[in-house]
Each structure stands twice: as structure tokens, then as C-alpha cells.
Amino acid sequence: MTGERDKRLGVVLAGGRSRRMGTDKALLRWQGRTWLDRARRLLREAGAERVIVLGRPEAADGLADPVPGGGPAVNLAGLMARLAPGTRLLVVPVDMPALDAAVLADLAGRPAGGTPRGCVLPAVVIVPGAPVRPAGDSLRALWAALALPAIDLPAGAVPGNVNTPADLVALQEGAPPWT
């Protein structure tokens, strides 16, 4: 991937073990699609020219986590180290099936990228020219190391993650846990 420059590269974070849900969240279905397929489609609708599913080497568009078990921040930093500086990454988690493409497109259109204020994801990241060394292994630490700006969006514009069976029931009943 070194030397390859994508105007907008979509990244689905899908490498977790789904312990709290008790089943693989990427394969769960909502509104007729798997959560993984929904995330891919969302990224394309928001302008991604290409999509990578991080943590899913078996997928046609998948890549193994650069550091197995390293968590999303460590593995996203590892992916960024393999990309050309200036590449714009549109990053979504697989477990946010109710995220709207318009919200992500709004974020993607911001010159400096960013993440909604008070949220860790979704995020739009511009790959820097040097490796990123966050002071910790969380996405918040990675965003701080990148000086990723917080973006004000209307209340309720970004849904929460669906992590547990109770969250899933709420989503299916139309009363997501984040409302």
C-alpha cells in the first residue's frame, strides 16, 4: 500500500471479538443487510473510493490487524503507517448500523477532518507524513496525537454503538439506546 494515495479511503473497524454481544457483530442483520455490508455501503455513499475492512483478512476487501489483539487504535495507526501521507480516511465501527451517510459525508467534507464532539467515531483522519505515536492505546489517544478537531453536529446526529443484546433489541424495536 505504500505509495498508493486514495482521495478517500473508507475503513471499517471490524476486528473485535464481540464479547459483550456474544456473537459476531459484523454478521448481525438490520434492515436486510449485515452490519458489515451496511458499513461498507455507508462509506461508499459518503464518498469513499475504496473500502478496507480492518481486522477481517478473510473478506475480499479485508486486511488483517497489523497488531493482532492490539485494539482499534493500535491497528488503525499501523494501517496509517502503510498509507501515503495526505490520504483521507473515513473511519466507522462495524457496530454503528444506524449511522447516516449524510452525517459521515458532512464530516468527510471538513478540510481538517475530525470527529463529532463527544464521540470517538465516526472519524475522518488525514494520514500524517510521520508515524503517529499516541500516549496510550485508545482511539481518544490516537485522535489527540493527530490533533483531530472536534466537530459540532446537531444533537442526536451520531448514534451510539450497539454492543449488547439489550442494545440490539432496542435498535430492532426502533428505540435505540442512545436516544
* All cell numbers assigned to 3: 505509495
pLDDT in tens, 129-171: 998 888 888 999 999 999 999 999 887 788 888 888 888 788 8
On the question of pLDDT at 109 being above 60, the answer is yes
Averaged pLDDT score across all residues of the chain: 87
Q: Smallest Cα–Cα separation from 178: which of 102, 107, 125, 116?
A: 116
Per-residue confidence (pLDDT) for residue 178, from 0 to 100 = 53
DSSP string, 5-54: --SEEEEEE--S--TTTTS-GGG-EETTEEHHHHHHHHHHHTT-SEEEEE
Rounded CA separation 50/155 (Å):
30
d(C-alpha 44, C-alpha 46), whole Å: 5
Question: What pLDDT shows up at residue 95?
Answer: 92
Say yes or no to pLDDT of 2 above 60: no
pLDDT band at 3 (very low <50, low <70, confident <90, very high): very low
Alpha carbon 60 to chain centroid, angstroms: 18
Mean pLDDT of 18-26: 78
pLDDT in tens, 34-64: 999 999 999 999 999 999 999 999 988 999 9
Q: Which residues, including other chains, have CB under 8 Å from residue 17's CB and lie 6 or more apart?
A: none
Q: What is the rounded distance in angstroms from the CA atom of residue 68 to the CA atom of residue 82?
A: 16
pLDDT at 177: 55
Neighbours of 166 (CB within 10 A): 11
CATH T-level assignment (fold) for domain 8-172: Spore Coat Polysaccharide Biosynthesis Protein SpsA; Chain A (3.90.550)
CA 85 to chain centre: 19
pLDDT of 99 over the 50 cut: yes
Give the DSSP letter of residue 85.
T
* Count of beta carbons in the 10 Å neighbourhood of residue 1: 14
| Long-range contacts, 171-175 (Cβ 8 Å, 24+) | 171/30, 171/97, 171/98, 172/30
CB atoms inside a 10 Å sphere around CB 47: 16
pLDDT tens digit sequence for 74-83 = 899 999 999 9
Query: Residue 116 above 50 pLDDT?
Result: yes
